Amino acid sequence: MITRRQFVGGLAFSQGICLAAATPGASGAGEAPPRSFIGPLVIALIAPSQAPDEVRVKWQPLADKLARRLGMSVELEVSRQYADVVKAVVSGRAHVAWLSNASALEVVESGSAEVFATMRVRGPEGQGVSGYRSQIVVRDDSPIRNVEDLLGNGKSLTLRMGDAKSTSGYIIPYYYLFARRGLNPAEIFKSVLTGNHSNNMAAVIRGEADAASTNDEEVKKLAQRDAGGARRLRVVWSSQEIRQSPLLWSTALPPSVHAGIKDVVFGFGQTSAEQQMLMEMNRVVKFVPSSNRQLQPIADIDLFTARRNLAADTTFTSAQKTAAEAKINSRATRLEMLLKRY
């Protein structure tokens, strides 16, 4: 469920008109933006492993600064469900969003928004890093030592994975561990359950699951709040680096609003107080420019999976497969344009 709170930067403004609801492809970059937009500006945030109120408080200073810079009210919507944030942006109800790469691809593909920024977060040496890694963890006393142990003993194991729109919790491990090997986790494990990163790691620590997907940043956060619990986990698989989750903005916002958002987002962190606020958000060092191009690896995985599933489907007639292949190819062409144009 989405919760919302309004921040006006200490000033009172009348409620403005909202953007018209967007439909897939209806509000792409080629559409002329409105001459003016008086708000409220709605920012939709994903909180898969934190309490929505906690995330809201951490993002409030940025919302306040945006309100002052833009001269309009700014509202924060926070949800635990990726689908809620995607729906808010695609419908036109939200104008800025923080999402996983996988969910961002869905929004970009709809034509309603584009990636404009991403995060650099504090690395182990204190440096800013632009990516993170999906991981599979087991308990420290588990006999599972590597991927071969995990896959070879699946019938006796319980695996916990993330939401299907979670990049590190589902998309990346599903592709690299299972799809590329021609495997379906639902068929090789005793059971596969779904939960957020925190709950999945907790289930492994308590012995309620044998293995779980998470990412290295979530493991670090766990170590900060529960060092003993984190020591009970052992990593048996890590992915290649994944770009940090992006920020997107509506393609229907006027250039003046885009410019104001850029000024605030890229300038945030110039004081020690703001630097601390960024750290509390998500161990952020700073926001940096990005584009739809950062979603290309996720699109490649998505298209690979669609083609593989179609090839393995024995229920389709030849004509149906030809039609389905044409749809996949059409989608690939559209994605190539969307991801390389910006």
pLDDT tens string 246-283: 999 999 999 999 999 999 999 999 999 999 999 999 88
pTM of the model: 0.73
Average pLDDT over residues 2-28: 35
Mean pLDDT of the chain: 87
More confident residue, 138 or 282: 138
120 contact partners, CB below 8 Å, separation of at least 6: 128, 129, 130, 244, 284, 285, 286, 287, 288
| Contact predicate 106/84, CB 8 Å | no
| Contact predicate 189/155, CB 8 Å | yes
CATH of domain 3-127+244-290: 3.40.190.10
pLDDT for residue 6 is more than 50 = no
Torsion region of 246: left, alpha or beta (phi above 0 gives left; psi -120 to 50 gives alpha): beta
Q: Return the pLDDT at 53.
A: 93
Q: If we measure between CA atoms, which residue out of 85, 80, 212 comes closest to residue 138?
A: 212
| Contact predicate 293/104, CB 8 Å | no
Binned at pLDDT 50, 70 and 90, residue 36 comes out as: confident
Average pLDDT over residues 194-219: 95
Q: Name the residue type at position 63.
A: A
pLDDT for residue 304 is more than 50 = yes
Q: Return the pLDDT at 149.
A: 96
How far from 151 is each of 141, 189, 233, 291, CA to CA, in Å?
18, 8, 18, 36
Q: Return the pLDDT at 47.
A: 87
More confident residue, 164 or 26: 164
pLDDT for residue 18 is more than 70 = no
Q: How far apart are the C-alpha atoms of 222 and 132, rounded to whole Å? A: 15
CA-only gyration radius of the chain, Å: 21
Structure token digits, residue 150:
């995990």
Q: How far apart are the C-alpha atoms of 302 and 335, rounded to whole Å? A: 11
Torsion region of 39: left, alpha or beta (phi above 0 gives left; psi -120 to 50 gives alpha): left
Sheet containing 233-238: order of strands: 191-194, 158-161, 211-215, 134-139, 233-238
- Give me the CATH topology for the region 131-242: D-Maltodextrin-Binding Protein; domain 2 (3.40.190)
Helix (H, G, I), strand (E, B) or coil at 183: coil
pLDDT for residue 169 is more than 60 = yes
Helix (H, G, I), strand (E, B) or coil at 93: coil
* Residue carrying the six token digits 């770009």: 243
